[in-house]
Structure 1
């Protein structure tokens, strides 16, 4: 609902008509007259509409914004008149845009046929679809070409390996000062067994294992880690910084402070009346009965 509808006036209303309509509506929906929420909201809408329309500059701006918004408004009727999609302002006629079906646009005094435009847009859509399909097929071709190139490279690698294997059995020119001018490649494998001297290498055991040096070293490192790092270092740190859970240090300090205070005041270290006898509630002899009291 626009400001003209709120004030119940036409768009060609004069300042006097706006003022008269505003005064009538403002008295009708005044908050002092009716205290419901709807009346208050209506009062605010009327006040805002009148503030915009009473100013000529604000009214011109509002009319132009209203005209722009009305362009997207569809008039859905079987028959329409000229007054339903146009209005006059300063001897100029403005027309609202009205779409009739899917082929006609009514935005001036003449009716323009849009059937040809729709045909052109359909042709463009088909061209775009065909170009997208061609693009996807081109990508597939490029991907297949790259895969064929990779397979060819793999074949070349296998051929290269086969050539290397055949060269190992070929006879080569010898550079050694032997009688033979040629020599064959030695295919004997190197022995991986340790030498006899390394098996009987002397080592000092830490007392964990006298046969396997590696096992003995592992046990030694583990024992040093647990005894020195965990027990000695972390244990001493815990004992040094452990909190006083039983508050022994606190109670001892408080006791010494209390004794010093009583000595300075000339009192006994421990008062016999530390607890007020009047506050002590002892049971009567009837309640005690035959109960033995041990002092």
Structure 2
């Protein structure tokens, strides 16, 4: 077992939480670290310099870009700086490095090399959205961005249908409607959820309701940074009567609908996985 000790001839990696909307949320420790770090690895160097200006800090070290496209190569370079005894600070556009943002690869390299790693806690869209969603927050899981491709997204969500913890997702505004619709199919249209938009910013908005209702709302022009909070499955909660659904499939078949199509349609309307209904029909 390796622990980061107080004495080390190597440098130090600092993961810095950045404000998610309001520059004034920057902590005094973040201000000091930005002014004193030897190297600052920023997801967007322009946004970093704008933040520094807004909070009145002069960046003390050299600034390098560190984003998705160059993360693997840059991590090796930054590890070299750490092994040379320098303090490297990683900061993303908003929130905590490594949480759906660059940071994990360098952290893993630093840990494996015995370099001390620390964090400057800061605002987080995940916990902020969870706190204001009105949904249970005693147990939750973070699922990041759902897959972009419809088939992969449906399979991922179907696997989460029985998840009992509150779930937190990120999503791009132009995909929000499709994702909420897919969630309504996988979890049920009445599953409670909250769409949190532009958290801590001037036009912050929280929409709460069932997934079906929110999917209909999201068909409009939704903009900004989106964090989505979805209630977990409640054991013992009212579930669709599977026998009634099997009977409905049979009625549609008698009316001329092919069995496979009938199963797909009935499962979608009931908000259950197609495979569940297929198995029930097969058994019947």
Query: Highest relative contact order (Cα 8 Å, sep 6+), 1 or 2?
Result: 2
- Looking at CA atoms only, which structure, 1 or 2, has the larger radius of gyration? 1
Q: Same fold (TM over 0.5)?
A: no
Name whichever structure is richer in strand by fraction. Answer: 2
**TM-score scaled by length of structure 2:** 0.17
Name whichever structure is richer in helix by fraction. Answer: 1
**TM-score scaled by length of structure 1:** 0.17
